[in-house]
Amino acid sequence: MSTAPHESSATPPAEHRHFSTWTMREKIGRMLWYWVEATLFRFSPRPMYRWRGWLLRLFGADVHPTARVRSTVRIEVPWHLTVGEGSSVGDFAILYCLGLIRLGRNVSISQYAHLCAGTHDFTRRDMPLLRPPIVVEDEAWIAADVFVGPNVTIGAGCVVGARSSVFDDLPAWSICVGHPARRIKDRPRFDSAAP
């Protein structure tokens, strides 16, 4: 029979304790945003893009007045979000902005896409939160149900095919598909000022 003290009542070692990576101000901001997103944002009529942009800017997001964010989009930590001129985010997309997410000009994020700018350091026992950014450059299109992981840059004009998974940077003016997404061919370049 063991004479060792019962370990369950002891204070866990430091590597097992979880400390919040969020400041009190961030916690309060997130709580307020949850309420605003679930009410004023979510129940706004479809064409009220300027209203939703204003709400996002109120919470620190950098959203161009011409950007179109649908009311069903889920946004975590809006003050880490930038949405450029003429860009759109489709229904039920998830912008998980634990780290910075930057959408350039004329970017299309289709319905059910999931951009996840957060992960954990699995090489450590306490698995601390990491917040690597996601950048989607001008004129890119993230098609329906695409997953984009943290620390990824999607090049200008890149098209990511539906239901692809993106874990590495993708080249500009290319068409990429698969799990993980890979370039399959080039996309024609065009003048962004042209109709």
pLDDT by residue (tens digit) across 131-166? 999 999 999 999 999 999 999 999 999 999 999 999
Q: What is the C-alpha separation between 181 and 178, in angstroms, rounded?
A: 4
Q: Is 34 part of a structural domain of the chain? A: yes
Q: Is 43 part of a structural domain of the chain? A: yes
Supply the range of the domain harboring residue 64.
Answer: 24-186
Q: Which pair of tokens denotes residue 118? A: 């957060």
| Whole-number pLDDT of residue 1 | 44
Report the sign of the C-alpha dihedral through residues 148, 168, 153, 61, in that order.
Answer: positive
Q: What is the pLDDT of residues 56-106, one digit of tens each?
A: 999 999 999 999 999 999 999 999 999 999 999 999 999 999 999 999 999
3-state DSSP assignment of residue 96:
strand
Q: Is the pTM of this model over 0.85?
A: yes
Q: Is 3 part of a structural domain of the chain? A: no
Q: Is 52 part of a structural domain of the chain? A: yes
Q: Is 8 part of a structural domain of the chain? A: no
| Whole-number pLDDT of residue 18 | 52
Residue ranges of E strands in the chain: 62-63, 68-69, 74-76, 81-83, 88-89, 94-96, 101-103, 108-109, 114-116, 119-120, 129-130, 134-136, 141-142, 147-148, 152-154, 159-160, 165-166, 174-178, 181-186
| Whole-number pLDDT of residue 179 | 96
Give me the CATH number covering residue 169.
Answer: 2.160.10.10
For residue 195, what pLDDT band results from cuts at 50, 70 and 90? low
Q: What is the pLDDT of residues 112-121, one digit of tens each?
A: 999 999 999 9
- Check: CB of residue 116 under 8 Å from CB of residue 147: yes
Q: What is the pLDDT of residues 6-55, one digit of tens each?
A: 444 444 445 544 556 889 999 999 999 999 999 999 999 999 999 999 99
Q: Is 134 part of a structural domain of the chain? A: yes
Q: Is 103 part of a structural domain of the chain? A: yes
Q: Is 121 part of a structural domain of the chain? A: yes
User: What total of structural domains would you count in the chain?
Assistant: 1
